[in-house]
A = this chain, B = another copy of it.
Amino acid sequence: MLMSATEFRESLRTLRPRVFVNGDRVASVADDPRLAPGIAAIGVAYDFALREEHRQLMTARQGTSGRIVNRMLHIDETSTDLLYKPEAVRLICRESGCAMRYLSHDGLNAIFQATRRIDANHGTDFHQRLVNYLHQVQDRDLTVGIAMTDAKGDRSLRPGKQANPDVYVHVTKRTRKGIVIRGTKAIVTAAPYVHELLVMPCRTMTAQDKAFAVACAVPLDAKGVTVIARPAGRPGEAAAKFSAKYGQSTGVVHFDDVLVPWDRVFLDGQVEEGGFMTTSYATHHRHSCIGARAGFGDLLIGAGALMIEANGLDPAKHGHIRDAMVELIKIVEGFFACGVAASVYGAKDPAGSIMPDAVFANIGKLLLATQIYDMHRLANYVSGGLVVALPGPDEDHNPETAASLAAVLAGRPDIPASSRLEVARLMEDLTASYSGGWMSLISLHGGGSPEAMKREIWRNYPVGEKRELVERLLDRGVLSEGQRVSKQPGRCCATGCEVPELPAQRVEDAAE
């Protein structure tokens, strides 16, 4: 069953979560105007899956059940899946700014892989529990939020050493019915308007941190859950051409002795497995972020083009304007290309699923994390200075000023001042407002800060193989023919990943 955006919003009424926004208890999430832009943004990921023209990108056949599901809930099985995922994310984020629902995909895929591995190492049965849960989520077409980043407290101490243990979510009791968890997750995207939260660990653990190695699924309105969130976007602001319509809320989530039934527990004390689950999530998620921010890039490129036009400039004639647009395109497509490469060189998992190549996924995320600021700079550059002195929207209806402003603020004679002001306000909204700043920050720190990506790149890159290449070239002077052999037959030179399965596929295509 695939829901529409409207059905998604309605479905939120079935839950009664404890949510605070700006100090107020939210009576009904589905009806609070401060959350509406967030619900609308997630809605795009629902509606697009119902559109015939987006069916291929937005839906997929789930291998374990044979059913057609929203791609945001699908377990990737082929490199085509890996390619279509960021394409689908880009499609919905260019419409909504950030559709958030790919978080569900990333969490479910990570736990799918991790539970298989835990079971293999510990003789547990987490994987089947996850598959059962997955099918429920898919069948009900739910949106699942990710509660990963703990409050962390004193960063110089491990979880088990904190004065206040509640700065990390942890298990306080195990009963016949399930586990009881408490603690705080500090940065939970879309927290107020998801159906469920996937609680996951955010770091590697040691034996002393046993209680902190926990993953499980919790309904948003489970007893003991409190969400303290910010409004989504800039609801109700007339100048917010985009973010009054679509936005994201992020929240702090407290778990105050929440009971989680055993069939919703996916990690419980296997400290050595937490790191893999976190890393696997990070790899899927950074891959998704690439698609998301490319979609935001599409908005900036389009808005920049409109602004240039409204200013009466022509990129064909004004080299410095064209240059800035090309630079913006170079950044956006440059990091998106890393997402494509991460798909092509995806790594098969013993669980039967596939994971994006970690090197390319991390490079792509690292590029977008730091270059989002350049994207804003370039979009601002091509827009000119109008935004700085832009009269507020209330001025548009001021009888004493509206006419005179309209007369002088147009750029090109065939584009009215009101159109120019509108796109200038959009540009301000996207780049020079609370929403624009939030987009920069979430791009920089979301899914791990740049240092984390650098470490992952270093950890995964086949430096040894390159060193051996050079040693071989150095040791032997002019090499005889017999020595000119790469030491890793069957592995592509780029990243050491296995390409060979690709051609067999393609050969058949060509044979058609």
Contacts and interface: CB of A to CB of B under 8 A. Distances in A.
20 contacts: A21-B392, A22-B394, A53-B486, A83-B499, A187-B389, A188-B389, A228-B391, A301-B466, A302-B469, A302-B471, A306-B470, A329-B457, A330-B363, A330-B457, A337-B363, A340-B344, A340-B494, A431-B437, A432-B434, A437-B437
A250 interface: yes
Contact of A56 (B294, B412, B503): B503
A423 B188 CA distance: 21
Contacts of A299: 466, 469-470, 473
Given A23-B394, A391-B252, A440-B376, A381 B449 contact: yes
A450 B154 contact: no
A163 interface: yes
Given A344-B340, A359-B333, A503-B509, A469 B94 contact: yes
A510 B78 contact: yes
Interface residues of A, number: 186
A323 interface: yes
A334 B338 contact: yes
A4 B319 contact: no
A325 B228 contact: no
Interface in A162-195: 163-164, 166-167, 183-184, 186-188
A367 B330 contact: yes
Contacts of A242: 473
Interface string A260-302: 0000000000000000000000000000000000110011011
| Interface residues of A, dominant DSSP | helix
Contact of A470 (B294, B302, B405, B473): B302
Interface stretch (A125-133, A136-144, A210-218, A474-482): A474-482
Interface stretch (A65-73, A109-117, A395-403): A395-403
A177 to B, nearest CB: 25
Contacts of A353: none
Contacts of A79: 506
B438 A437 contact: no
A432 B444 CA distance: 12
Contact of A186 (B408, B469, B470): B408
A1 interface: no
Contact of A510 (B77, B164, B440, B471): B77
A400 B21 CA distance: 12
A471 B306 contact: yes
Contact of A474 (B230, B241, B338, B387): B241
A436 interface: yes
A295 B493 contact: yes
Nearest to A253: B389
A196 interface: no
Contact of A294 (B413, B494, B507): B494
A187 B386 CA distance: 7
A120 interface: no
Given A437-B432, A444-B380, A322 B154 contact: no
B385 A445 contact: yes
A313 to B, nearest CB: 6
A504 B494 contact: no
